[in-house]
Amino acid sequence: MIVRPADDALHLITQPAHAALARRIMEQWAAGGLTTHPRRESILHAVEEHDNGWLDVDSIPMRTADGHVADFMTLPIEARRAVWPRGVHRLGDDAFAAALVAEHSIFIFDRFRADTDWAPFFAAQAVLRAKHAAAAGVSLEELHRDYAFLRIADLVSLTFCNRWTESQDVFGHQIAGDGGEVVLVTPDPFSGESVSLEIEARVIPNRAYRDDEDLAAAWHTAPTTTLTGVCRAA
């Protein structure tokens, strides 16, 4: 779950909704040869489905120890790790997309590489990555090169959904939010065009919840709102 504070309310965005927005962004990406890429459809499929392992987790929000709504960074680590093999398996009919999501799971947790508790996770995900890359007929070098599209799309969408302002450099592009509803990308990947951003969020009170039932009641009765913005070159 993505939790975006909004004064005395919280805007809750599911991870699959964020991923769907990431695809809509990447559909208009004109840099790096994606427009004519022979694996374009599988790349876009991976972008759209890279968070499908969160479907179960995001069906209802969870609480932190102090009763506030947990986001995708504050959930227990076991729950966060379990998302990724589940997501890869759900893409089994598209081997290249599955391999890209396995690569994503390894890339985003790289900071834990030296932690022995994480060794089984990395080993299992590497096996899935190799298996699906082989089935797709691509090398790990080709996979990592094409993974750039997924990671960039993920960061652009997350920057908007979370209203991040910190500039991030990834695969030759700089991505930064302006603190409002604009995401800036350098160099220009959209051939001078601007990309409209739109995503649905549920609105619940920004408070501590006494128990899971209290939070569930707020979730099930929450109104929705549409968050809008724009992504363009700096």
CB 138: neighbour CB atoms within 10 A? 20
8 Å CB contact between 53 and 17: no
Report CA-CA distances (Å) from 80 to 48, 156, 221.
19, 21, 26
Q: Residues 9-26: pLDDT tens digits?
A: 999 999 999 999 999 999
CB 124: neighbour CB atoms within 10 A? 16
Q: Which amino acid is at 121?
A: F
Q: Residues 50-84: pLDDT tens digits?
A: 999 999 999 999 999 999 999 999 988 999 999 99
Q: Residues 96-137: pLDDT tens digits?
A: 999 999 999 999 999 999 999 999 999 999 999 999 999 999
Q: Which amino acid is at 114?
A: A
Q: Which of 174, 138, 143, 145 is nearest to 159 (CA)?
A: 174
Domain layout of the chain by residue ranges:
2-233
Q: For residue 234, is pLDDT > 90?
A: no
Q: Which of 1, 29, 18, 5 is nearest to 233 (CA)?
A: 29
